[in-house]
Structure 1
Amino acid sequence: MFGGFSRVLAQSPADAERLTSLGARNVTVLGNLKFDMTTPPELAARGHAWREAIGTRPVWVAASTRENEEALVLQAFAAMRTPGALLILVPRHPQRFGEVEALVERNGLKCVRRSAWAADAAALAAGRPAAEPLPADVTVLLGDSMGELGAYYAAADVAFIGGSLLPLGGQNLIEACAVGVPVLMGPHVFNFTQATADAVAAGAALQVADPLDLAHVLDALFADHARRVAMGAAGAAFAARHRGATARSVDVLAALLPPVENGTHSTQDGQDDQGV
């Protein structure tokens, strides 16, 4: 299966071991490319502006939640004892925004969509403020936008990463760590096993067992500002420490290519491939 490959690039030592057991040779561990994806400064600034409009109330984001998981998130929210908390709920799939909004309202919670509350790119360019003050009776802000996850993280005190309360493997926790927000994950993280283990070991993330445990951990974090700050700083350092996989991958690939002569790659049969 792997006989035709000159080099096999693995994300982690565990991946390298599995690939080797399948017959791969010349396996190199380069790390996770996702660590090289950072939140643009303008997106982080947008989130900070949203936070100013929200005010001083405790804010947590449930990011990239999946079907049937929002009900569990709302169970956790109902079990929390932190006064005045705001939940930013960001479903992973946009076709479910209406469905999730209806679920929130059936639970007796006041919900506002991000699109109805905060300015879009055109309005921002026209000089409108990022958002109007959020009414105190709003308990759920529905993140009905695409490409703004970094802003939602920047607006929050704590981030829960979806896809992990159900056996779906979990979504990407790395961006939240890089933003510097404490991260919580459910028990099902097989899509990000190594990254989750490393983040927990670094003090950047915690795993919870179920919705009630999520509520308890959220309450504990909201009661401990110093711990939130420490976890956020640990997350930013953790993300920075693991960057560089993209550059390492490019170096390996470049070494495998034939020399470039006069803008073309020389090939073994004497023909030239047009250079890029």
Structure 2
Amino acid sequence: MRRADWVRAAYDGALYLASPLIWRRVWRESVPTRPRGERLGLIPARPAGPRLWVHAASVGEVVTAAPLIRGLLKRHPEAELVVTTMTATGAARVESLFGNEVSHHFLPLDFPGATRRFIARLAPTLAIIAETELWPNLIGACARHGVPVLIANGRLSDGAFRTYRRFATLSRDMLRHVDWVGAKAPADAERFRMLGCPDERVEVTGALKFDLQVDARLLDESECLRTSWGRRFVWVAGSTHPGEEELLLAAHASVCRRYPEALLVLVPRHPQRFAAVAELCRSRGERVARRSCGEVPDAETRVLLGDTMGELMHFYAAADAAFVGGSLVPVGGHNLLEPAAVGTPVISGPYLDNLREIAATLAEARARREVTDAEALAGALLELFDDEAARRRLGEAGRAVVDANRGALAKTLNEVSDRFGQALAAYGPTGSENQRV
């Protein structure tokens, strides 16, 4: 028995031992219209036919993969496109972005039987994993059924790299079954190689996040939003986390001492925290309007809670400045390019491990301000509010960075299309070995 087989057996045993805790978490991450049995691979068996499968773990990955999914729908109308997520919020975002254009399932837990069952019933021609959601048994099941696995926008944060390296044998055995990695940066590519992915299978494509689509409809809707808020300075704090909202509210209080009419649009990262964040605002003496209730902030309202899904880009486009959350607390940061793409000045904290290269690119182009605490954030906002020319320069620099770095989408789409064609040629119209056995 190979060492890798012993390690895989130990991994499976640990999963089974932890299954009560895992299932408790999964019980919460569900939606009424989806049976929890999907987590065990219990999905309807698909008929034979060409099928593309994209996995995007949660909301962030769904947003990143959205241009790729749209491109695949356009290029391959003959294929069914299935999207899987791990989280309920990710599922909701898939529904809001694509409706009936794609099918959705929850990804099964990485138990051997569940993953084998899932791949056998889904029968994908090709699997595309967005960013870093690597599960040994799932990828192993794809290999057994002859399903090529591609990683799009591949990234490995410091923490993820350390974790995978701690289980080096398992990681190396898993990555030998990955057919192609489109890494978002040279550092990510090198980490995939260090973990055991063959050098010739790794390519630096750049970050898919640069290929954000900003259409006229979004800008028109944002203009209507801004009109409804009135003539006042507006800043957005997007994708915020616990411990961060307190700092943002303190910064807003400082801003309001000079600009009493200023409005903060506060958008927590996780929907399950909307009510708690609303209560936090009220406990700080803030009058809060809730977007989900259709409430429009009046002159006395200083905080608008963006407690809806899919509107963050609209808020960014309607604002004078944007703070991107997960960066004043050690989370790793979220998508800095969303406000940059619509020309809104970008401010962040220092915790940006999840997007090191993007953060550095924006900083080098003087398209991002970095702050370390509430006082520094208030100072940065006041400087921008006081100086319209500075706001315009920072916003235009951010938009220029996004425009200059587009291209990852075309590279990734071309690779996926080539591999898809090869799989169809190798296995016939069903597209996978699974359909042949």
Question: How high is the TM-score relative to the length of structure 2?
Answer: 0.55
Tell me the alpha carbon deviations over residues 245-275 of structure 1, each in whole angstroms, 9 at most, x when there is no partner: 1210122233445558xxxx232xxx52436
Match of 1:21 among 171, 184, 194: 194
Tell me, yes or no, if the aligned pair for 2:212 and 2:341 is still in contact at 8 Å.
no
The one-letter amino acid paired with 1:115 is S
Tell me the alpha carbon deviations over residues 65-113 of structure 1, each in whole angstroms, 9 at most, x when there is no partner: 1122111111111222431211111111122211111111111111111
Q: Match for residue 61 of structure 1?
A: 236
Query: For residues 135-150 of structure 1, what are the structure 2 equivalents within 5 Å?
Result: 135-150=298-313
Unpaired runs of 5+ residues, structure 1, are: 119-131
The alpha carbon displacement at 1:22 in A equals: 2.9
Match of 1:239 among 402, 408, 420: 402
Q: C-alpha separation between the residues in 2 aligned to 1:250 and 1:136?
A: 48
Q: Match for residue 382 of structure 2?
A: 219
Query: For residues 154-193 of structure 1, what are the structure 2 equivalents within 5 Å?
Result: 154-193=317-356
Match of 1:197 among 352, 360, 363: 360
Q: Match for residue 274 of structure 1?
A: 430
Q: C-alpha separation between the residues in 2 aligned to 1:49 and 1:254?
A: 39
Tell me the alpha carbon deviations over residues 10-54 of structure 1, each in whole angstroms, 9 at most, x when there is no partner: 110111222233333122100111222324432332221111122
More divergent stretch after superposition (19-28 vs 205-214): 19-28
The one-letter amino acid paired with 1:223 is D
Structure showing greater relative contact order (alpha-carbon pairs closer than 8 Å, 6 or more residues apart): 1
Q: C-alpha separation between the residues in 2 aligned to 1:259 and 1:23?
A: 24
The one-letter amino acid paired with 2:428 is D
Q: C-alpha separation between the residues in 2 aligned to 1:180 and 1:51?
A: 15
Q: C-alpha separation between the residues in 2 aligned to 1:69 and 1:29?
A: 33
- CA distance 1:186–1:253, change in 2 (3 Å): same
Tell me, yes or no, if the aligned pair for 2:236 and 2:265 is still in contact at 8 Å.
yes
Q: Secondary structure at the match of 2:344?
A: coil
Tell me, yes or no, if the aligned pair for 2:237 and 2:325 is still in contact at 8 Å.
yes
The list of structure 1 runs, each at least 4 consecutive aligned residues, that deviate by more than 6 angstroms after superposition, is none
Tell me, yes or no, if the aligned pair for 1:76 and 1:212 is still in contact at 8 Å.
yes
Determine whether 1:32 maps to 2:207.
yes
Residue identity (%): 43
The one-letter amino acid paired with 2:425 is S
The one-letter amino acid paired with 2:242 is E
Q: Match for residue 46 of structure 1?
A: 221
Tell me the alpha carbon deviations over residues 135-170 of structure 1, each in whole angstroms, 9 at most, x when there is no partner: 211111111111001111111100001111110111
More divergent stretch after superposition (187-196 vs 14-23): 14-23
Tell me, yes or no, if the aligned pair for 1:9 and 1:30 is still in contact at 8 Å.
yes
The one-letter amino acid paired with 1:236 is R
Determine whether 1:108 maps to 2:285.
yes
The one-letter amino acid paired with 2:248 is V
- CA distance 1:21–1:157, change in 2 (3 Å): same
Q: Match for residue 125 of structure 1?
A: none
Q: Match for residue 183 of structure 2?
A: 10
- CA distance 1:257–1:57, change in 2 (3 Å): closer
Determine whether 1:85 maps to 2:262.
yes
Tell me, yes or no, if the aligned pair for 2:348 and 2:370 is still in contact at 8 Å.
yes
Q: Secondary structure at the match of 2:399?
A: helix
Q: C-alpha separation between the residues in 2 aligned to 1:97 and 1:258?
A: 45
Q: C-alpha separation between the residues in 2 aligned to 1:38 and 1:253?
A: 20
Q: C-alpha separation between the residues in 2 aligned to 1:219 and 1:212?
A: 11
The alpha carbon displacement at 1:8 in A equals: 2.8
Q: C-alpha separation between the residues in 1 aligned to 2:250 and 2:280?
A: 12
Q: C-alpha separation between the residues in 2 aligned to 1:228 and 1:17?
A: 37
Tell me, yes or no, if the aligned pair for 1:82 and 1:222 is still in contact at 8 Å.
no
Return the structure number with greater helix share: 2
Tell me, yes or no, if the aligned pair for 1:44 and 1:150 is still in contact at 8 Å.
no
Tell me, yes or no, if the aligned pair for 1:43 and 1:148 is still in contact at 8 Å.
no
Q: C-alpha separation between the residues in 2 aligned to 1:3 and 1:151?
A: 42
Q: C-alpha separation between the residues in 1 aligned to 2:212 and 2:353?
A: 21
Tell me, yes or no, if the aligned pair for 1:39 and 1:175 is still in contact at 8 Å.
no
Tell me, yes or no, if the aligned pair for 2:288 and 2:301 is still in contact at 8 Å.
yes
Total equivalences in the alignment: 255
